[in-house]
Chain A
């Protein structure tokens, strides 16, 4: 890699270091492995530095998390078996949709169950990747719907329905027998 120009390096120092916690957390949820997450974020940082040679960035957080997300997808496609690859799981979405027939809401049961952090994290990890990434960008990274739509490259309507499904699935999972 050729050394970064001073301008790109200055942009990079202003944008990327403050976002590394967010980037690492997102990558770790997406690939589910702490070491792999580091490699993904490193790769994303290299891509970001290259892009900053020619780009001034308006909203750094969705911009960099989009790169992290894409790096994760590429990384998974390259290093994981196909059925585990991040891009998959759309079939599961259909199943999930047909399973949306909720029992009547019982907030008390959920309220108790979500106190079990380990169980909640397991339930998150069991979400199909296309739902999980939206949930993580919203509730872990704290992105707005608009920023998620930018970072994930999809319409806001899709973001909203996937987020609704993700939370619905978590509610069901937390209410089920452990």
Chain B
């Protein structure tokens, strides 16, 4: 065998060792190997070296300190709460709207009759994006980024991550205790989302400024991909509540939420 490393036969020998030959060349190589003892001997010694490298120079685990430093590059800013593990936010159609504005007093009288919703275009995009976030969060077993039933904990956490200072209503007396908060990504912009619990069910309320395409929709409840979506708005914000509760319970929740949010209502956080 030639001594040059670029000898085609030697290159093929290595390619065979690495499983890089196609079927035809692999067969040809097998035949060559059987007919040429010197080639077979070289194959075996290179195979021994390959196996030795794999056994004695294995991949090493990255030190914990390094892993920590790398993960810190994409860590959420810390707050005085226990953050849950970062959640992948890759949903492509959950990114439609920018968000600004402040969560001012929830206006309007509660108990508005909820009617069937026919919101076209951008509005439907917002709803389906938030539904897919809700579904993904539920499947991942992590429906919120900050787990707390204390609105005085959730409020600053959300405030530190969005441009909205969210007033958070206490609906525990009505049977909807606060479970936590998270940020829904709408068009790559963070939108504060409150997660309430009702028995085994969750409802996530996302707040959107009315200046955004798709934020305003007719009041009502619709079904998107098997989840119920309630929409309403007040003078300042549009609200999208996504839930796996039944329609009637969701309507009760919306009524309670809007009632509690009225200026001067007992359940409002400062």
CA of A36 to CA of B56, assembled, Å: 22
Q: Do B3 and A100 touch across chains, with their CB atoms under 8 A apart?
A: yes
Tell me the smallest distance from the CB of B114 to a CB of chain A, in Å.
32
B63 within 8 A of A: yes
Which one of A17, A114, A167 contacts B70 once the chains associate, using CB atoms below 8 Å?
Answer: A17
Name the residue among A105, A115, A161, A163 with the largest chain B CB count within 10 angstroms: A105
Which one of A5, A12, A97, A174 contacts B49 once the chains associate, using CB atoms below 8 Å?
Answer: A174
Q: Do B4 and A100 touch across chains, with their CB atoms under 8 A apart?
A: yes
A140 within 8 A of B: yes
CA of A120 to CA of B65, assembled, Å: 29
Which one of B5, B45, B50, B63 contacts A100 once the chains associate, using CB atoms below 8 Å?
Answer: B5
B35 within 8 A of A: no
| Count of residues in B whose CB is under 8 Å from the partner chain | 49
> Given A7-B188, A111-B45, does the pair A21, B5 have CB atoms closer than 8 Å?
no
**At the interface with chain A, which of B9-17, B119-127, B228-236, B255-263?**
B9-17
A139 within 8 A of B: yes
Q: Do A140 and B59 touch across chains, with their CB atoms under 8 A apart?
A: yes
Q: Do A106 and B15 touch across chains, with their CB atoms under 8 A apart?
A: no
Tell me the smallest distance from the CB of B63 to a CB of chain A, in Å.
6
18 further A-B contacts with Cβ under 8 Å, apart from A12-B74, A168-B10, are A6-B188, A12-B73, A13-B74, A21-B60, A24-B62, A24-B63, A42-B70, A46-B73, A97-B4, A102-B3, A105-B42, A114-B51, A117-B55, A140-B57, A163-B14, A164-B5, A171-B46, A171-B49
